[in-house]
């Protein structure tokens, strides 16, 4: 009798908790009615705080102000600002009138701004005033004449913002009720531009149903209630901030705490201590910065219970320190992408420490995941690597006005192809082993940078490590490690790294090149830009000839 075939790498998220069927505005109003006097939002930099009743008043006034400016259902409204309370006001105000919020990366410069305003057909843009090296009003002025659809520019903190709010305070609240009643949960409500490594970014278009449910179920798996306060140092312009942060909170009556306009480890730790936050979010580099704060021990973090680490692969050693030193016993790892609203898999509070430090968890409620052979598209047996695909309520409507790009990402059966390499174990837990494009092929051997990075993290002098492939005339590619050293440690040489790896890693997995840096090139969301690292490394190592060599 033949053996039974191996179990396929497929899992679906069973849940007794039903999906939410309402719009973001209606769901928000339900929470306001249930918890009117609880803290809803704290903006630490501005020294301001709002209860749910007070937040609703601001949101409704802004919604009516937008209507007074001629903004209606389906119109695109841009937000170009670091984190602040007004960002949150606008997120919920646009949702209430059915306008589509277009998130604009605060790091963009004028040519990128112009592209997004035109590609999305933005009618009104709300921009910050100056922040760090960015003069937002000046850049808007520079491109305004080239953006045919742009009718209104509102600068936060200026007379134009005050006029918008004043018009709203004088508006008719009953008209807002009528507008909300005309909306469907399946309407597009948000466009987020993915930071494409080549070409222009694409606008992932998300519905109320997509992001409301994703925020809700992320919050459910973190066991949020109206007692929770969530510190959100991750950017609102990305799903991590506005969905896993804001929407997870407002679907549970929890409080959103903004520690600073942009990530600052000191401000984050201060916010947790002062507000007695129960949950803290961050990408791994943020947690590394907090753990290495010179006065870390002086902050009272005893209120922390949970939190989320996501956005890029989470080093096992960092996760262990977050649990031990930050007392985040229930901390969760989430995996996802903008196109899936964003979370597809998440660890649970009752997962073992081993599961939570070594996997990205299991599929979320009401979702499906599978791991497929990138060449054939067939589901691979459990334990074998392949491309992770996900399907369900979270998959975006598509890329804004780019049907061809949408078809490349979402197949005919509505599976979103993530481009990430993954392995599913016998219990349906997933491990992300790298990006298909990050995989290094050295002399015919497929090498996964993540595996080597995890090993380098165990070196006592290495604070952070990133491994990339660089061109090589003999092998096609060679491994290079970029490392950040712990304070006071001697810079590592390739010889010292080789010595550390000898006998523990296969020889072909030992990095040939080592480059010590203070910081890695990063996106605003805290993802390491490996494409940029590779380009710099070619110049640094004089590998131009190898880079130009043609390969089959």
In the chain, domain spans: 24-424, 439-550
The mean pLDDT of 436-462, rounded to a whole number, is 83
Contact 258, 274 (CB under 8 A): no
Using CA atoms, how far apart are residues 290 and 311, in angstroms rounded to an integer?
16
Cα 135 from chain centre:
25
What are the distances in angstroms from CA 286 to CA 58, 198, 310, 522, 533? 31, 26, 10, 12, 20
Cα-based angle 542, 545, 551 (whole degrees, multiple of 5): 130
Q: Which CATH architecture best describes the domain 439-550? A: 2-Layer Sandwich (3.30)
Q: Compute the average pLDDT of residues 469-495.
A: 89
Question: What's the rounded Cα separation, in Å, for the pair 281 and 272?
Answer: 11
> Which pLDDT does position 439 carry in this prediction?
77
Q: What is the pTM of this model?
A: 0.86
Query: What confidence tens digit (pLDDT) does each residue in 253-297 have?
Result: 999 999 999 999 999 999 999 999 999 999 888 998 999 999 999
* pLDDT score for 42: 99
Q: Is the pLDDT of residue 197 over 60?
A: no
* CATH 3.40.50.12780, applies to 24-424: yes
Q: What is the dihedral of CA 448, 529, 395, 106, to 10 degrees?
A: 160
Residue 550 confidence (pLDDT): 44
Q: Count Cβ atoms below 10 Å from residue 135 Cβ, excluding itself.
A: 15
Quote the pLDDT of residue 551. 38
Residue range 383-408, pLDDT digits in tens: 999 999 999 999 999 999 999 999 99
pLDDT tier at 527 (50, 70, 90 boundaries)? confident
Contacts 24+ apart (CB under 8 A), 14-19: 14/365, 15/217, 15/365, 15/366, 17/217, 17/220, 17/365, 19/209, 19/213, 19/366, 19/393
Between 476 and 313, residue with greater pLDDT: 476
Q: What is the pLDDT of residue 170?
A: 97
Per DSSP, the three-state class of 195 is: coil
Calpha distance 421→449 (Å, rounded)? 11
The pLDDT score that the predictor gives to residue 185 is 98
Q: Is the pLDDT of residue 443 over 80?
A: no
Q: Are 371 and 9 in contact (CB under 8 A)?
A: yes
Domains 24-424 and 439-550 fall in the same CATH topology: no
Cβ count near 383 (within 10 Å): 13
pLDDT of residue 1: 67
Average pLDDT over residues 95-117: 93
Alpha-carbon distance 150 to 304, whole Å? 44
pLDDT of residue 472: 86
**64: CB partners within 8 A, 6+ apart:** 167, 168, 169, 171, 172, 173, 175, 176
Residue 195 — very low, low, confident or very high, per pLDDT cuts 50/70/90? Answer: low
What are the tens digits of pLDDT across the range 317-375?
889 999 999 999 999 999 999 999 999 999 999 999 889 888 999 999 999 999 999 88
Q: What angle do CA 133, 137, 140 make, to 5 degrees?
A: 105
Task: Please answer whether residues 79 and 103 qualify as being in contact, where contact means their C-beta atoms are separated by less than 8 angstroms.
Answer: yes
């Amino acid at each position: 009798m033949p053996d039974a075939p191996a179990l396929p790498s497929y899992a679906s998220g069973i849940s007794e908790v039903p999906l939410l069927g309402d719009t973001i505005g209606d769901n928000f109003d339900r929470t306001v009615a249930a918890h009117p006097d609880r803290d809803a939002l704290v903006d630490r930099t501005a020294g301001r705080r709002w209860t749910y009743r007070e937040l609703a008043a601001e949101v409704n006034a802004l919604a009516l102000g937008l209507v007074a400016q001629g903004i209606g259902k389906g119109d695109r409204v841009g937000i170009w600002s670091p984190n602040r309370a007004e960002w949150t006001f606008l997120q919920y105000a646009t949702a209430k009138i059915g306008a589509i919020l277009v998130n604009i990366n605060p790091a963009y410069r004028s040519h990128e701004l112009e592209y997004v305003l035109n590609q999305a057909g933005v009618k009104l843009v709300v921009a910050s005033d100056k922040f760090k090296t960015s003069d937002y009003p000046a850049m808007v002025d520079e491109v305004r004449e080239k953006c045919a659809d742009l009718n209104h520019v509102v600068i936060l903190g200026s007379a134009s913002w005050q006029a918008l709010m004043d018009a709203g305070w004088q508006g008719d609240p009953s008209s807002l009720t009528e507008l909300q009643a005309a909306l469907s949960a399946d309407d597009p409500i948000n466009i987020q531009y993915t930071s494409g490594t080549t070409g222009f970014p694409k606008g992932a278009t998300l519905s109320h149903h997509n992001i409301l449910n994703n925020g809700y179920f992320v919050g459910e798996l973190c066991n949020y209630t109206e007692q929770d306060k969530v510190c959100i140092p991750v950017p609102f312009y990305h799903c991590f901030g506005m969905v896993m942060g804001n929407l997870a909170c407002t679907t549970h009556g929890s409080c959103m705490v903004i520690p600073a306009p942009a990530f600052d480890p000191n401000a984050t730790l201060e916010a947790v201590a002062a507000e007695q936050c129960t949950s803290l979010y961050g990408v791994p580099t943020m947690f590394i910065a907090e753990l290495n704060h010179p006065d870390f021990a002086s902050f009272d973090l005893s209120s922390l219970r949970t939190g989320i680490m996501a956005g890029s692969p989470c080093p096992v050693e960092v996760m262990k320190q977050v649990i031990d030193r930050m007392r985040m016993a229930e901390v969760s790892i989430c995996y996802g992408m903008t196109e899936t609203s964003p979370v597809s898999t998440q660890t649970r509070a009752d997962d073992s420490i081993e599961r939570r430090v070594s996997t990205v968890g299991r599929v979320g409620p009401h979702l499906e995941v599978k791991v497929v052979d990138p060449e054939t598209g067939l589901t691979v047996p459990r334990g074998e690597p392949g491309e992770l695909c996900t399907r369900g309520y979270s998959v975006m409507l598509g890329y804004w006005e780019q049907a061809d790009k949408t078809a490349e990402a979402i197949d005919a059966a509505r599976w979103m192809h993530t481009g990430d390499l993954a392995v599913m174990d016998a219990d349906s837990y997933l491990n992300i082993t790298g990006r298909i494009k990050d995989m290094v092929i050295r002399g015919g051997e497929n090498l996964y940078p993540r595996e080597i990075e995890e090993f380098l993290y165990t070196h006592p002098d290495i604070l952070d490590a990133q491994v990339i492939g660089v061109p090589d005339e003999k092998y096609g590619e060679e491994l290079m490690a970029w490392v950040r050293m712990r304070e006071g440690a001697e810079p590592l040489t390739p010889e010292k790294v080789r010595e550390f790896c000898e006998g523990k890693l296969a020889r072909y997995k030992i990095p040939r090149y080592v480059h010590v840096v203070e910081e890695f090139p990063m996106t605003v969301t805290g993802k390491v830009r490996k494409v940029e690292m590779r380009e710099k490394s070619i110049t640094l190592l004089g590998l131009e000839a190898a880079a130009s060599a043609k390969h089959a």
